Chains A and B, each alone.
Chain A
Amino acid sequence: MIQRTPFANALTYCVMIFGFLLLIGPFIVIVSGASQTFQQVNAIPFSFMPQDRLLENMGAAWSRAHLGTAMLNSFVMASLVTVGKVALSALTAFAIVFFRTPLKGFFFWMVFITLMLPLEVRVVPTYAVAADLFQPVRLLISAVTGFEVSVDWNLLNSYAGLTLPLIATATGTFLYRQFYLTLPDELAEAARMDGSGAIRFFIDMLLPLSRTNMLALTTIMFVYGWNQYLWPLLMVTDPQYKTTMMSLVALLPSDNGTPDWNVTLAGSLIIMLPPLIVVAVLQRWFVRGLVATEK
């Protein structure tokens, strides 16, 4: 870059290798551990050499933690969250950028502020609402009329419950807003002159133009959705709706049971794969979308 001396080069490589090992280290432990036998994985010192027992261990993990349903659930949840987030943030940013509405600045900043309020912070009120959707309505009715109405509708143990509270996203809205702001005003005006209405403009112009942006967001949000732990733990009691992150617990050796870490590691490897694949496939777009130079 600035200086190309052998010493500088060596130093650069040292730093790079150190960072690489730091990031890849745990992954190596998982891969090698997952392919070893029960004895090998418990041997001291730990051997980093992968062995040939990977498929057996994976099979054991799959059946022990019922990973079939869990993977499906996680996949559905992550996909719904992703689609919902991308669609919602594209539309929210559209409303914020392209319409001259009073208070739009206010709304944007309100959305923006929630960036600082992750789900973990607002988990209790969110749970209260999700567990009893009609609570506010009921309160209102009883306050106004004095009658107690009993309507019971909640989102517990459902895909809707797993995904809906996660869909609102300030990050996505912000990303989309920044992208829309780079488009020249004349583009919207030309479309208006050509007779296109707002929705048509959104579909014909903004969606195709924001493709890289959308794929970048998809990557982030899929991984985010897949990695959710706290929220599914609250919303789901029915094993039918368990997600992979919850079944990780089932893979952990119990306190007094056999310490078969090889199965646990094989299970984690399975669970890691889908986001890995998504990132691997979309990473090219991911980088481009975040840098956002292509228009």
Chain B
Amino acid sequence: MADIAIRAVRKSYGKNPTLHGIDLAFASGEFVVILGPSGCGKSTLLRMIAGLEEITSGEIAINGKVVNRLEPRERGCAMVFQNYALYPHMTVAGNIGYALKVAGVPKAERLRRIEETAKIVGLSDYLDRKPAALSGGQRQRVAMARAIIREPNVFLFDEPLSNLDAKLRVTMRAEIRKLHQRLSATSIFVTHDQVEAMTLADKLVVMNKGVVEQVGQPLDIYHRPASIFVASFIGSPAMNLFDAAVDVDNACLTFGGTKMVIDRALAVRLGARHITVGIRPEQCVVAPEGVSIKVDFIEELGSGRVIHSELNGHPFAATVDEHTRARPGDRVTLELPLAHLHLFDQETGRRIEIDLAPRAARNSASQQTLQAV
């Protein structure tokens, strides 16, 4: 159990900066997921916590102790690597127990702890095998057992599930979550898979291009993305985004060929500026009035279907339930509820914190004037 503080941490390789000042704090026992596209610096950050990568500036503290200058073994972290990095010439038992062997734990105790750990991950029958004779999932378990046996304060996972097939990935995800509940060590999990991120995280960190875009609980981030990047990165299919203009005089938003009347006071608060309006596909509602779109093609999901179309040149997706019948070429009318619109400042890319459908107006939200131009 340990809390982690990351303060103004930067990393550059030669002249190329990859992390531009990261500030994060993780509470003890938290399951943190760092999510971002490849090349955003998430793995670098993880490796800096582990001690495998030097910290260019700033500091990282584990349990209140600055660890910048400590060797990996002195930091109390254990790491699970993407390609498992098992020792190919050692048996499963040898792999799991290597850290103890290095630490000079007597053989009898070592064997006892290897067996205990192997039991946790369900590898008791495979202790004499070499990694080459194991399946992907079993190798993954060995890698986890190797981390568990050290009883670390911090677990670090570097995209550990990306080499597994889809089904196994779901199983292992559940196992990692269970394991965390059982050991309750602080865990940091790096991934580019938003489903993994949403399902595992207590706290989600979204990174892009070496900066932290947003930190929060997964649902918070889903409902209130702090920037255009987060809005487009989280959620599947991705949020529909449109360039929009605020017309203060007529109190309306114009985007995607539609005009949407908003509260005059809000329009004044927004001011005449260029913004980006977003709406999630799953929050578009089929309605008698609203935006009319022409269906390009349809993705069946079983529990529903995704209608793909275009709105004023922008790709547009809407998730509808399985009862909505539509064929390519049909026209469908969708309502975009004001309450679910996300507004972003185009200059900064940050969210504009405004509730377009204040509580009083919410009842009449369905009657909001919403006309195709």
Given the complex, which residues of A lie within 8 Å of B81, measured CB to CB? 186, 189-190
Contact with B along A181-211 (1 / 0, CB 8 A): 0001011011111111000100011001100
The answer to whether B87 touches A192, judged by C-beta atoms less than 8 angstroms apart, is no
Contact residues of B between 141 and 194, Cβ < 8 Å to A: 146, 150
How many interface residues does chain A have, given as a range? 10 to 19
CA distance A200 to B102 in the complex (A): 8
Contact residues of B between 62 and 88, Cβ < 8 Å to A: 71-73, 77-79, 81-88
The number of residues on chain B lying at the interface, defined by a beta carbon within 8 Å of a beta carbon of chain A, is 24
The answer to whether A187 touches B72, judged by C-beta atoms less than 8 angstroms apart, is no
Chain B residue at minimum C-beta to C-beta distance from A188 = B85
Report if A193-B87 is in contact (Cβ < 8 Å); known contacts: A186-B81, A200-B102. no
The answer to whether B102 touches A184, judged by C-beta atoms less than 8 angstroms apart, is no
Given the complex, which residues of A lie within 8 Å of B87, measured CB to CB? 187, 190-191, 204-205
A186, A189, A195, A295: the one contacting B102 at CB < 8 Å is A195
With both chains docked as a complex, state the minimum distance between the C-beta of B151 and any C-beta of chain A, in angstroms.
13
Central interface residue in A200, A204, A208, by most chain B CB within 10 Å: A204
B99 touches A (CB below 8 Å): yes
Chain A residue at minimum C-beta to C-beta distance from B47 = A189
Given the complex, which residues of A lie within 8 Å of B52, measured CB to CB? 189, 192-193
B73, B84, B86, B88: the one contacting A192 at CB < 8 Å is B73
B50 touches A (CB below 8 Å): yes
The answer to whether A195 touches B88, judged by C-beta atoms less than 8 angstroms apart, is no
A190, A196, A200, A208: the one contacting B79 at CB < 8 Å is A190
Chain A residue at minimum C-beta to C-beta distance from B81 = A186
The answer to whether B83 touches A193, judged by C-beta atoms less than 8 angstroms apart, is no
The answer to whether B88 touches A209, judged by C-beta atoms less than 8 angstroms apart, is yes
The answer to whether B85 touches A192, judged by C-beta atoms less than 8 angstroms apart, is no
The answer to whether B72 touches A193, judged by C-beta atoms less than 8 angstroms apart, is yes
B89 touches A (CB below 8 Å): yes
The answer to whether A209 touches B102, judged by C-beta atoms less than 8 angstroms apart, is no
The answer to whether A195 touches B73, judged by C-beta atoms less than 8 angstroms apart, is yes
B233 touches A (CB below 8 Å): no
CA distance A105 to B50 in the complex (A): 28
With both chains docked as a complex, state the minimum distance between the C-beta of B96 and any C-beta of chain A, in angstroms.
10
Contact with B along A77-96 (1 / 0, CB 8 A): 00000000000000000000
The answer to whether B102 touches A196, judged by C-beta atoms less than 8 angstroms apart, is yes
B103 touches A (CB below 8 Å): yes
Given the complex, which residues of B lie within 8 Å of A191, measured CB to CB? 87, 98
Given the complex, which residues of B lie within 8 Å of A186, measured CB to CB? 81-85
The answer to whether B85 touches A194, judged by C-beta atoms less than 8 angstroms apart, is no
A194, A209, A295: the one contacting B98 at CB < 8 Å is A194
Given the complex, which residues of B lie within 8 Å of A209, measured CB to CB? 88-89
Instruction: Please name 7 further chain A to chain B contacts, defined as beta carbons within 8 Å, in addition to the given A192-B51, A195-B72, sorted by A numbering.
Output: A186-B82, A190-B79, A194-B73, A194-B99, A194-B102, A194-B146, A209-B89
List of 8 A-B pairs having minimum Cβ-Cβ separation, nearest first = A186-B85, A195-B73, A190-B85, A194-B99, A195-B102, A186-B81, A208-B89, A193-B79
